[in-house]
Structure 1
Amino acid sequence: MPSSTAALAHTADLASFVEASPSSFHAAAEVAARLERAGFTRLDESVSWPAPAGGRYVVVRDGAVIAWVVPRAASASTGVRIFGAHSDSPGFKLKPKPTTGKLGWLQAGVEIYGGPLLNSWLDRELRLAGRLVLDDGTSVLAATGALLRLPQLAIHLDREANDHLSLDKQSQTQPVWGLGESDSADILDELARDAGVDAARIRGYDVVTADAAAGTTFGLDDVFFASGRLDDLASVHAGVVALERAAGPQGSADDADHIAMLAVFDHEEVGSGTRSGAAGPFLSDVLERLWLSLGADREQQLRSLAASWCVSSDVGHSVHPNYADKHDPVVQPMLGSGPILKINANQRYATDAAGAAAWNAWCFAAGVTSQEFVSNNSVPCGSTIGPITATRLGIRTVDVGIPILSMHSARELAGVSDLWDLTRVAEVFFRG
């Protein structure tokens, strides 16, 4: 059926959000900026935090961001409802000595980040984006326009390319970005120019590639949305919009019986084991400072956790019409038919019966139909921040998301209605 006006408007906002978020650092900054405009107070981890009753706060740690609303009647043992997602995506990361080249071509030295579908990055215009750390220790964000491309070898020079395309991960994944010798230009100059700083001041950088093309809706009745970084900016966007709405004039977060919290982590695609990843201390640090400001002792902290929920939101696989054998023969979530509940017997997802019941109740309250996702027994199952968060905090956790095609491609495919439905459920979750 045709996409609704609300769903299309929501997807257009997501397209703008993705364009403003070409790296995890940009995504965290964009979330914080949106919430500050919505009345949230930006906090600094290095200074004392205010007493939180009735407050709305956001804090950024590198490429991660956490925001929360404390109801006016919050006590030391008030539970927390956490909507979790991640800000990074598979792709390529700039190496040291990044300006390379040969035979008159300028190239960028990159390292593969996570598990991208390498062939999907061929013949696309790419951006560079991330943070630059300067000689005085300050960090600035930088993002170029379309600058690079990984040109594919012509079919005339590889007649068997359509039968078995295989890329050497070192020699055949270094994008071109200009003409000349490697000592005639410096790719860091392009990033410094965007950031408005002198390239000679750069002492460190975390810079990745991103698809330069804008997200777009298409298909019969505009049911599809294609964009880079839907894994997992689709969930990040759903969470921030839901929190904005729950904390807005028509929302009820200020009067809820729980603390509404959005937690966006970095480095999920490479295992989450960093200071800004889900396996790191960021969430527990924020929770502890929140509890201390509420005067909670250890017993009250544990009571708060026992009354809490985490919804771990990440993309999952829609059934693929050309590869039906890769999916479970019975449980086959379909793009455009609602968000998914992710289930795995080996606990690659944290969903259990209690989590499934809670998720279905939130979907019912939002007027949204949910689908289940389970892997084919012959296909290894991925994982998410869900089991990590449940293990670190002992918090009840359920894994959910939206079904997509082309996961880990430079450009992924989602359903317009699913994006809107996930946000609607997240808002119910936050409001209670």
Structure 2
Amino acid sequence: MAEGLVLSDLTESWFASLLLNLLCYSTVFIPGYFLIKYFKNSNYVDQAGPSVVSRLVMSCVYGHGYDHLPTSDSSSSKTPSAPQDQALGSSFLQLCFCFIGLQVSYLTWGVLQEKIMTKEYHNAEGNIGHFRDSQFLVFVNRILAFILAAGYLLVRRQPRHTAPIYKYSYSSFSNIMSSWCQYEALKYVTFPTQVLAKASKIIPTMMMGKIVRSKKYEYYEYLTAILISIGMTMFLLGSTEAKGTTSSTTTISGVILLVGYMGFDAFTSNWQGELFSKHKMSSVQMMCGVNLFSCLLTSTSLIQQAGFGPSLAFMFTYPTFFWDILILSVCSATGQLFIYYTISVFGPVVFIIIMTIRQGLAILLSCLIYGHPVSMLGVIGIFLVFTALFLRVYCSYRLRVLQQRRQSAGGDVGKI
């Protein structure tokens, strides 16, 4: 009987919605594939001459050469580990600014994300409603992020863009799918469970790095990945809510969606890393390109499924929902800008530490605000996960310092 209910749940809710979304996305990808294939096989650009259309086709399909191009965005070429040319007091204020900005943006985003997808909305007339369209939330987040990135590109000079624009569509698709799985998973798993799953995405990221980029990893990376897996398992076994029967508890659907989220997110980061290494674009150019295709795909799907109407009607029926998604989108977009700024000023190690602290605070806030009980075994699992994350950051930092010392020593020997 229970298995029948799970199968019915998969068929009638998120699984059917997933298939419908993929069908709608195919109406963009299939024509785009044949157009790109036509332009590449027909040498259209050589025959068309220097027209506006041919330049557009060149940018979308072929890209431009990028050898010896000057760059004006430090985040596109290197990420200094610390602002060495600034006073200590100024550096401390910048660090506080980045820390507070990231914490406020993403902690607020996490609280609102859980509220929107799991809680009831009420209005003055006494109506009660649940919002269910995850794709509309993805669209609202992405369109605001695209507007911010495009506005930044208009006022700030960037490196010459060299990548074929269509290549952003791959990471854009995986990005919206990971976000969709993330929102849908909240219907079946608690927010603390989802946060711990995000912390565990190191494992599929490493696997995807092996597949996509043939990347090699150090021994400590495998060790911390194992510790994270053990900690996540302990948390799931020790979560007292997982023993309940409500729709928010961990189910087969929730596990599948979390695995989907981690897999798509792992591909996104590795594909973007590949684009960065090959085409040297700035991080804001990447943000703009990815969000452009995300807006195109989600809006096309929402139009074909008539999804805008019900979501907008829900927004006008429950005014609180409007303010929730507005603040959610603002936090998502500004959070991305804080990410790029933090990495460019302080480097990736400081950024990872800040975001690791944010994940721990997010679990604490969710348990306090929404009352998620966790047993002692679950607490030990959380502690083990974050200990492994900090160990990973420390080992990465120490390895980088040792490599720099060896290179420096080798250079000194060469001079002698």
| TM-score range normalised by the length of the shorter chain | under 0.3
Q: Which is bigger in relative contact order (C-alpha 8 A, separation at least 6)? A: 2
TM-score (norm 1): 0.23
Structure of greater Rg:
2
- 1 or 2, which has the higher strand percentage? 1
